[in-house]
Structure 1
Amino acid sequence: MTVIEGAPVRAGFWRRFGALLIDSIVAAVLLIPIQVLIAVLFLQTNGAIQGNLGLAFPSCETVNQLPPTLEPSPPADFTLSVDCTESFFGLHASRALTVVKIEQGNGKTSMLSWNYSLGPDGHQVDAFYVSWVGGLVFFAYLVLMETWRGATVGKQVLNIRTVDVQSPSTVGLPLRKAVARQLAMMIGLIPAFVPAFWWGDPFFANGADISETLSTSYIATTAITGVIEIAWFIWIIVSVSKKRDPIYDRIAGTSVLRTS
């Protein structure tokens, strides 16, 4: 193994942030051929495979005529129907239809929603979405680079690297620590999923009343989880700004040091 000598100096906020921006660009470049492949599969499978890796842009239009034989059937007297296609430089990667019906009664306004996956021909399909591949590729890139070099491309450009605190002079993290570090970073994202799990499938199913997102309980839950997420990121920013190991580095037993 390669050994580097020298007194450790922790990386500050701006070097870490700059490295993240560079790595985001690198990840986007890595995802381009995969996004193109998804667009090809969307066409070749008639929409059975769809996905947006964060590179495709949506284009939506209201429609008055619905595709035939939609399941489950939307109401004939729907209020609004929107057909959205996500494309990457003209290559369609996904297509979806949203049908909305607004009802008023008993002093309450309800907004019922139905969502359908569509193929290139505009007919309903049973689609398999692969949008998760983008996150998986980025995760794998971060883990593999820190296992191999102790630094991603962004970290190498800005002369910082991630080390095992038990062996700071050794280049490259043990695989388990590299994985643990990335997973620990995501702890602060867990609250974002609370509303979805709390309300469950009936809330998000076809025909569900999406006006419930304006209910006091939903807004309160979303606000609380949002505050928790913000507090998590502020905690990390303050720790890094003071050149201390943030919580995810302490959990994984790692540290980010300057190499020059």
Structure 2
Amino acid sequence: MTDEGIPLAAAMAWPRRGGFWRRFLASFIDYLVVLIALYFLVAGLFALTDGGVKGHFWLFLRICSSAKVHGGPSLGRYDWQVCKSSLFGFPVADWAVGTAKETQSAKPETVSIDLNSKGNFRPTALDLGFLQVPALAIYLLLMEMASGRSVGKRALVVVVYDENDWQRRGLPLRKAFRRQVIKFLGTFPVVLTEAWFAFQTWGSFPRAAPSNAWLEFVPALVAIGLSLVWPVWIGITIALGNEPIHDRVAGTTVRTRETYE
């Protein structure tokens, strides 16, 4: 947004732009808020379903240790590690990874099997890790509609304004919705890919990954690459002192809270 075409007095009243670092840190805080809330939700579902629902989330600690697995001759072909993903001591995923002891291929054959609360193998659990971005978008939509500020924006003292009515507290639904759709547009491919993989494998029996299994992940890698371009472009636009595409399309602007009362 530029201040051309509005009265000089109104232009002088506009607070300063939020700036790259304020907006970046605010976004990071908001992501942590949503991630922790989602973590407790999945941790509860993981316990209630005996491992039938899990969540692989970014930034979560994953600990793996060697283990012995008792079973038929087929299980003895692998060297096993038991892995756990948790936070605050509450697990959100338990699984075992086996690597073939003897293989003729350059890349060892591997198999990953989910575990229940007793450490026994179970059919593949539903991975809710793909909900991170949708949950963040819904959270920001509701917070910006209510007050124009999320937890992160409050901490960094910035506000999302309606550029046609900057004294309004909060955004209209259509502007808040449009802003989040455009902001997260670049992440749609990776979210849809993760959701597709989660539901495709849910309840299936684990199997060894063939030597050409990497071909199955090419679409996912392409989606991840595309999803990285969008936020980088938005970040560069903000760093150059311009309004990013989601603010231009929605008719909003992010400013400091100097005169917002």
- When normalised by structure 1's length, the TM-score is 0.71
Match of 1:162 among 152, 160, 163: 160
Match of 2:67 in 1: 63
**Cα drift, residue 212 of structure 1:** 5.0
Match of 2:96 in 1: 97
Per-residue Cα deviation, 1:158-189 (whole angstroms, up to 9, x for no partner): 33211233333322112232232223222233
Q: What is the identity, as a one-letter code, of the residue corresponding to 1:13?
A: F
- In structure 2, distance between residues paired with 1:195 and 1:139: 18
Match of 1:114 in 2: 111
Structure 1 pair 176–97 and aligned structure 2 pair: CA distance change class (3 A): farther
**Cα drift, residue 64 of structure 1:** 3.0
Per-residue Cα deviation, 1:96-132 (whole angstroms, up to 9, x for no partner): 122233631xxx5343332222101112234344445
Match of 1:240 among 232, 238, 241: 238
**Aligned residue-pair number:** 239
- In structure 2, distance between residues paired with 1:92 and 1:236: 35
Over the matched positions of the two proteins, sequence identity in percent amounts to 27
Q: What is the identity, as a one-letter code, of the residue corresponding to 1:95?
A: D
Answer whether contact 2:130 2:191 (CA < 8 A) is retained. Answer: no
Per-residue Cα deviation, 1:209-255 (whole angstroms, up to 9, x for no partner): 25653x8x978994x76665554333222211222111122233322
Match of 2:4 in 1: none
- In structure 1, distance between residues paired with 2:113 and 2:247: 42
Instruction: Give unmatched runs, 5+ long, in structure 2.
Output: 1-9
Match of 1:141 in 2: 139
- When normalised by structure 2's length, the TM-score is 0.71
- In structure 1, distance between residues paired with 2:59 and 2:220: 31
- In structure 1, distance between residues paired with 2:136 and 2:103: 43
- In structure 2, distance between residues paired with 1:211 and 1:173: 49
Answer whether contact 1:86 1:93 (CA < 8 A) is retained. Answer: yes
Structure 1 pair 13–114 and aligned structure 2 pair: CA distance change class (3 A): same
Structure 1 pair 124–180 and aligned structure 2 pair: CA distance change class (3 A): farther
Secondary structure, counterpart of 2:184 in structure 1: helix
Match of 1:184 in 2: 182
